[in-house]
Chains A and B, each alone.
Chain A
Amino acid sequence: MEQTISTTPRKTGLPITNGKLGMWLFLGTEIMFFTAFIGVYIVLRIGSVDATGRSAWPGPEEVHINAAAGAFNTFVLLASSFLVVMAHNAMGQKEYGKARKYLAFTFLCACIFLGVKAFEYQGKFEHGILPGQIPETAEEAILKTTGSVESILNAELERLTTEGENVLEKKTILQTEELEWKEKEPNSARLEEIQAVLALNIAYTELNDSRRLGELNLQDLENRVEELKANDKFGSLLESLHVYHPILYGNIFASTYFLMTGFHALHVVIGMILFAVAICARLSERWADYVENSGLYWHFVDLVWIFLFPLIYLIPATT
């Protein structure tokens, strides 16, 4: 029995490859993933008001936001998006060497983006702009500053003596040692170090006591810290110390900032892995879909940044 087989198959399904459909469905979930973060950021930012109802969102100087760095990174990502689409174009025209070159430049752009991002993160880490680490009231700022004097003191005690289980014991041990050195060798460097840390201990106790009694305000603290730094005995130990200032809503800023930019940076890293695979492979016709789909993914990463840039860097704090 003869069976007629139609040479043109019935057209069903979508006119795109399964891989591309999968990528688009994934990007659909990604849109919702990022808009959850961005939406929450917008809502929290609008809700961050003071008692009078005006916005109290921290300004760019307070939380070390640099619009120029953001604009530069936007440019870098746009350039990389352009390079990806050129790579896709070259794959279609079967110019695989050219496609590889474009992908390599895209990879380079991603590296530059992450470099600038790392530089920005570094600045925030240095200034303590981290979730849960930012004082929001004067009281918290004073506590954090005296706390950092204490940790400098404790580190110095730790350095000078390994004996003693706790700070108190260490202090007693050093006090005994001070007397011994005074008799043996009154001019030794060791004695000077011990006397410095013991003097710092007294200064810290005084500072902490006036904090506990509520006698310290930020201006006083600043003057006191200046005095301590000028002290010829232990002033050199306090070089890294600075007085913290309260940043209203700083913690919620830091949380949302690191959540959004962190997840975005993670996406950049994943994109780099996708491109690295293509660059290392022998590109051929079989790779056309791969380049197209990873390109779609990369454009999405670019899209997210296009919205993060104005929302984080451009819209001023006073709105």
Chain B
Amino acid sequence: MKDVTHSETYEPHGSSKLYLSIFVVLCVCTAVSWLVDELRFENTTLLVVTVLAIASLKAGFVMLYFMHLKFEENWKYAILVPTIILAIGLPLTLLPDIGLQYYTSVNPQAMIVEEVVTSETAPSTVEQKTSPEALDPEKSDAPAESAPE
């Protein structure tokens, strides 16, 4: 068996200049995702997709250049492909039961029924859900206007 030592495997994969430019790109990506969050998009799906796409892009840069995967031979697939399939598979298998319920949840938190959502003066749904009035079953007949800010 070939005795592999560092002196044989070390090849200058990248220069300091390359690493620095990758670092700058990563910082710009972070700044962009933070800015996107600060903009408070109305369309939250767009926001989720944007920030996760930027995260994947950053992860890609780190793996390809900092972890030198771009320069490695095919063994990288043998290690990474199975783990990534399992990693994606786990949430997908859990999702239908816990995440995507076609039935009504029976957990105590979800039993609290919102009142007067049709009222135009009702506060935003988030406030209403977490406001004391909305959570207190005894006050469930209270008008929405009385909910504290």
Using a CB–CB cutoff of 8 Å, the interface residues on chain A facing chain B are 9-18, 20-21, 24-25, 27-29, 31-32, 35-36, 38-40, 42-44, 46-52, 54, 56, 58-59, 62, 67-68, 71, 74-75, 78-79, 81-82, 84-86, 89, 92-93, 136-139, 141, 214, 217-219, 245-249, 285, 288-289, 292, 295-296, 299-300, 302-303, 306-307, 309-311, 313-319
Contacts and interface: CB of A to CB of B under 8 A. Distances in A.
Interface string B67-99: 100001101100110111011101100110011
Contacts of B54: 310
A318 B79 CA distance: 37
Contact of A288 (B1, B6, B22, B110): B6
A29 B87 CA distance: 10
B120 interface: no
Interface residues of B, number: 82
A256 to B, nearest CB: 12
Contacts of B119: none
B129 A50 contact: yes
Given A16-B9, A25-B79, A78 B30 contact: yes
A295 B105 CA distance: 46
A39 B94 contact: yes
Contacts, number: 232
A248 B130 contact: yes
B36 to A, nearest CB: 8
Contacts of B67: 296, 299-300
6 contacts: A47-B101, A49-B105, A137-B136, A248-B130, A295-B66, A309-B55
Contact of B79 (A28, A248, A313): A28
Contacts of A288: 6-7, 10
A300 B66 CA distance: 10
Nearest to B10: A92
Contacts of A93: 12
Contact of B9 (A17, A302, A318): A17
Interface of A is mostly: helix
**Main SS at interface, chain B:** helix
B26 interface: yes
A71 B135 contact: no
Contact of B2 (A9, A32, A84, A214): A9
| Interface core residue of B72, B94, B100 (most chain A CB under 10 Å) | B94
A43 B98 contact: yes
A286 to B, nearest CB: 8
Given A16-B4, A296-B67, A49 B10 contact: no
A136 B109 contact: yes
Contacts of A137: 108-109, 112, 135-136
A13 B1 contact: yes
B122 interface: no
Contacts of B76: 24
Contact of A318 (B44, B52, B98): B44
B121 interface: no
A224 to B, nearest CB: 14
Nearest to A89: B16
A57 B144 CA distance: 21
A262 to B, nearest CB: 20
A14 B136 contact: no
B110 A71 contact: no
Contact of B129 (A44, A56, A310): A56
Which among A9, A28, A32 has the greatest number of chain B C-beta atoms within 10 A?
A28
A85 B91 CA distance: 32
Nearest to A29: B83
B102 to A, nearest CB: 10
B34 A219 contact: no
Nearest to B11: A92
B91 A15 contact: no
Interface in B107-149: 108-114, 117, 125-126, 129-130, 132, 135-136, 138-139, 148
B101 to A, nearest CB: 7
Given A35-B90, A82-B22, A86-B16, 8 more contacts: A32-B90, A43-B94, A44-B99, A50-B112, A51-B111, A67-B37, A78-B27, A310-B51
